[in-house]
Amino acid sequence: MKQKEFLKSGQYLISEVKTLAENGHSKYWFTADTMRFFNCRISELCWKIKDRIYFISSERQSEKYDRLYTVRVCLLDGNIETYSKFQEYENINEARKIIKGILEDFEK
């Protein structure tokens, strides 16, 4: 699967992930206070693979550090887990490659 096709396949909306989390086991994950505390941003693209929704978050510890990226997974009960190590990737493309690999393995 080419990168362009992969990006187009990410059509699950982060708003739906937020709704699952808020109504499930991760009620405070997307609150303004939590996002501000971790200086967190969320990529709008998500990928639903089986019963899991994968997305990318980025966090910046302070102004003197670079923003780093983490692959996350939201389960259908609203629980959000860290799929990769926290802040494992230096850029969003590295994190996307991990999700792309999961998607390609699923399609086999």
The residue ranges of every structural domain in the chain are 3-107
Q: For 77-102, give the DSSP string.
A: TS-EEESS-TT-BSSHHHHHHHHHHH
Q: For 25-89, give the DSSP string.
A: T-TTTTSHHHHHHTTEEE-SEEEEETTEEEEEEEE-SSTTS--EEEEEEEETTS-EEESS-TT-B
The pLDDT of residue 3 = 59
User: How much is the pTM?
Assistant: 0.85
The pLDDT of residue 2 = 63
**Residues of the chain falling short of pLDDT 50:** none
The pLDDT of residue 90 = 95
